[in-house]
Amino acid sequence: MTIVHQQARGSAYTHLTRWGRALVLSLALVTAAGSTAAADPVSERRGGTPDFGPNVTIFDPSMPVEQIQATLDATHAKQVDNEMGTTRYAYLFKPGTYGTADKPLQIKVGYYTEVSGLGASPADVVINGKIEVYNRCLNNAGPNCIALVNFWRTLSNLSLDINAKGQDGCRASANFWAVSQAVSLRRLNIAGGGLSLMDYCTDGPQYASGGFIADSKLPATTNGSQQQWLTRNSEVAGWSNGVWNQVFSGVVGAPDDAAFPTPPYTTLENTPVSREKPYLFVDAKGKYNVRVPSAQKNTRGVTWANGMTPGRTIPISDFYVAKPGDSVHTINAHLALGKHLLLTPGLYDIARSINVVWPNTVVLGLGHATLTAVRGATPLEVADVPGVVVAGVTIDAGLQESPVLLRVGKRHGWGWSSQTNPTTLSDVYFRIGGPHVGKTDTALEVNSDNVLIDHTWVWRADHGVEGFTDTQRWNTNTGRKGAVINGDNVTATGLFVEHFQQYNTTWNGENGTTILYQNELPYDPPTQADWMNGNVEGYAGYKVGDKVRNHTLYGGGVYVFNQNNPQIHTENGFEVPRTPGVKLNHIMTVNLSAGIIDHVVNDVGDAADMTKVGQPVYIKQYP
């Protein structure tokens, strides 16, 4: 690490199986004997600065702006084109003010980079300047500057006073945040200028395919060429534009959706279930802690308007601070003893599951910490217990097929859950292929009841550097099912699932709710025979199980781009039981220039075919 200048677990033993109790006790005994891990550093026990490793940089407001700028510029230069790279970074700002009116701090954020404040409130860290993402210019013949692959970056927990001093006329017109999937904006207070979610200065606006904002106060915002976007529990001074699917949930100042689909807005007055992502902060005594927000029901606006976000504070000494190279045996021993887990930036090879067994455990990743499956392992297993929070973690499939990459609860498990304290996944991302060959049967499997999925991108890669062509990818990067939801009372706010070889999302649990769903069907089926669901042509992008009687979706889109064989058909974008309790609100399909979706849902709706390229087919409500 570069430094510049429990809640009680409850009576968990009564709910653990005999095998589980034995495991916990044996691991505890091994650790107590000193066989699995060294003791926590003295500075960490006393609340001082933990050792977060070499890829976390902590800034202090006493540092010259020029030095901070140089540090961030150097990382951006390395990361701006490092889409499939292995380096991960987190830049954390201690409470204070950075930059001035005459010397603003101009930050550009590249791949696998987190920029976050260390205040208890977003107001505690103020940056005068800009924090931006521009279109990425690819090294192809001719101009090819796009935002469609601007993935994997995080901005959170600070105030930004927009200052464009020193930028040219076009760049001075707004703070640009031109991103796509696996990017989150959280706990921000932005003022002093406009926010644009597209970059119209680099080779035109181009399309972008994001994105997600939560718990933030925003100025007038231009959505521009973003194909889909979810803004949740925030305040906006204004919102303009939108391409296909823009959703607002619990947002003060959100636009009205009465004219849907022109513009394509979907607006919910309140968010039915929410929990903000945990965040690292430094208290008044200089000690490091993690704030874990409480779950909320039927809320709107930011959580920090009237003081500290409701929740609990966990001292950093209650976390095992892991680094790449740490053994899973060591990590599991600390988890079994009741520690929380903080994953510092980097790649972790996981040949056996990390097991989260206690309720209310927090697993927090910094700088897009990445767990990679080895030898067909399931990298992360969460027990059927309430209140677990997993946040800021990316999970990659490995060379040998894994049955699943993240499993929450066992099928027909203990059934111990809580409506008021849901297990929560925040900014948890999945990848099958891209930097290397990846194989899994299922990416995300949720078996527990009362789970909240708050922003995830579940991606079977449509491009990468694995060393084979697009036509070979179908039989090499294999991922059959994206998200499988078997638990009851599961809520998803921001569910992005793409390119799987069977159903991208299968929802079998009762009383499920999804607020914004985005899907691209797989690009790469070689033939129609490869894309058949029995006698049905293709798999719907969103499938609600035949036995489900109550389910609600707000704002859903399924896109088709069968580039390997443009003649391929998919019968329906959405497939749901025909029953009054299953309701789809504001759904659409769209053709991206190859392939055909014959109907929007259950043989209803016109075809998204080659006569309607880029023109969505909307259904306001089904049934």
Q: Which of 66, 520, 537, 571 does the annotation list as catalytic?
A: 520
Predicted confidence band of residue 141 (pLDDT cuts 50, 70, 90): low
Do 370 and 499 lie in one domain? The reply is: yes
For 480-513, write each residue's pLDDT tens digit: 999 999 999 999 999 999 999 999 999 999 999 9
The answer to whether residue 517 scores a pLDDT higher than 60 is yes
Question: Is residue 299 situated within a structural domain?
Answer: no
160-198 core/surface letters (b: 16 or more CB in 10 A; e: else)? bbbbbeebeeebebbbbbbbbbbbbbbbbbbeebbbbbb
For 105-119, write each residue's pLDDT tens digit: 999 999 999 999 999
Q: Rounded to whole angstroms, how far apart are CA atoms 255 and 602?
A: 30
Main-chain phi, psi angles of 130, to 5 degrees: -145, 155
The DSSP string of 427-450 is EEEEEESSSS--EEEEEEEE-SSS
Question: Is residue 332 situated within a structural domain?
Answer: yes
Residues 6 or more apart whose CB falls under 8 angstroms from that of 451 comprise: 408, 409, 417, 422, 423, 424, 425, 487, 489, 490, 491
The DSSP string of 61-74 is TTS-HHHHHHHHHH
Do 246 and 377 lie in one domain? The reply is: no
Question: Is residue 419 situated within a structural domain?
Answer: yes
The answer to whether residue 244 scores a pLDDT higher than 80 is yes
Main-chain phi, psi angles of 32, to 5 degrees: -60, -30
Question: Is residue 37 situated within a structural domain?
Answer: no
Asked if 520 is an active-site residue, the reply is: yes
Q: Rounded to whole angstroms, how far apart are CA atoms 74 and 82?
A: 13
Mean pLDDT of 12-28: 39
pLDDT at 144: 83
pLDDT at 1: 59
pLDDT at 210: 86
- Report the percent of the chain where pLDDT is more than 70: 92
Which residue type sits at 301? G
Q: Rounded to whole angstroms, how far apart are CA atoms 178 and 196?
A: 7
Do 343 and 269 lie in one domain? The reply is: no
pTM for this prediction: 0.93
Do 244 and 190 lie in one domain? The reply is: yes
Question: Is residue 603 situated within a structural domain?
Answer: no
The answer to whether residue 27 scores a pLDDT higher than 50 is no
How far out from the chain centre does Cα 431 lie? 12
The answer to whether residue 581 scores a pLDDT higher than 90 is yes
Q: Rounded to whole angstroms, how far apart are CA atoms 357 and 18?
A: 13
Mean pLDDT of 585-603: 98
For residue 373, CA distances in Å to 19, 440, 443 come to 25, 9, 11
Question: Is residue 96 situated within a structural domain?
Answer: yes
How far out from the chain centre does Cα 256 lie? 26
The answer to whether residue 206 scores a pLDDT higher than 90 is no
Do 269 and 343 lie in one domain? The reply is: no
pLDDT at 548: 98
Domain boundary among 246, 274, 302: 274
Do 338 and 255 lie in one domain? The reply is: no
Q: Rounded to whole angstroms, how far apart are CA atoms 3 and 52?
A: 10
Residues 6 or more apart whose CB falls under 8 angstroms from that of 230 comprise: 211, 212, 213, 247, 248, 249, 455, 493, 494, 515, 516, 555
Q: Rounded to whole angstroms, how far apart are CA atoms 188 and 252?
A: 15
Q: What is the rounded average pLDDT for all residues in the chain? A: 92
Mean pLDDT of 214-227: 96
Q: Rounded to whole angstroms, how far apart are CA atoms 445 and 441?
A: 10
Q: Rounded to whole angstroms, how far apart are CA atoms 558 and 442?
A: 19
Question: Is residue 371 situated within a structural domain?
Answer: yes
For 402-439, write each residue's pLDDT tens digit: 999 999 999 887 789 999 999 999 999 999 999 999 99
| Total count of domains within the chain | 2
Query: For residue 452, what is the domain's CATH number?
Result: 2.160.20.10
Q: Which domain holds residue 326?
A: 319-463+478-520
| Residues 356, 383 contacting (CB under 8 angstroms) | yes
For 356-377, write each residue's pLDDT tens digit: 999 999 999 999 999 999 999 9
Joined together, the tokens standing for residue 590 give: 């769209």
**Residue ranges with strand state E in 542-616:** 542-544, 551-561, 569-575, 582-594, 596-601
pLDDT at 167: 93
Q: Is 357 exposed, middle or buried (0-12, 13-18, 19+ CB in 10 A)?
A: buried
Do 65 and 203 lie in one domain? The reply is: yes
Main-chain phi, psi angles of 523, to 5 degrees: -75, -20
Lowest-pLDDT range of 21-25, 127-131, 295-299, 422-426: 21-25
Domain boundary among 245, 274, 303: 274
Better-predicted residue by pLDDT, 469 or 443: 443
Do 268 and 328 lie in one domain? The reply is: no
For residue 205, CA distances in Å to 132, 134, 226, 357, 480 come to 15, 10, 10, 47, 34
Q: Rounded to whole angstroms, how far apart are CA atoms 324 and 405?
A: 18
Do 125 and 249 lie in one domain? The reply is: yes
Question: Is residue 90 situated within a structural domain?
Answer: yes
Mean pLDDT of 338-344: 98
For 142-183, write each residue's pLDDT tens digit: 568 899 999 999 999 999 999 999 998 899 999 999 999 999
pLDDT at 140: 61
Do 341 and 396 lie in one domain? The reply is: yes
Q: Rounded to whole angstroms, how far apart are CA atoms 206 and 199?
A: 8
- Report the percent of the chain where pLDDT is more than 90: 86
Residue pointed to by tokens 């926590």 = 40
Left, alpha or beta for 45 (phi > 0: left; psi -120 to 50: alpha)? alpha
Do 331 and 453 lie in one domain? The reply is: yes
Do 87 and 232 lie in one domain? The reply is: yes
Domain boundary among 244, 274, 304: 274
Residues 475/350/396/472 CA torsion (nearest 10 deg)? -20
pLDDT at 242: 87
Closest CA to 531 of 579, 489, 594: 594
pLDDT at 349: 98
β-pairing, 145-146 vs 136-137, is antiparallel
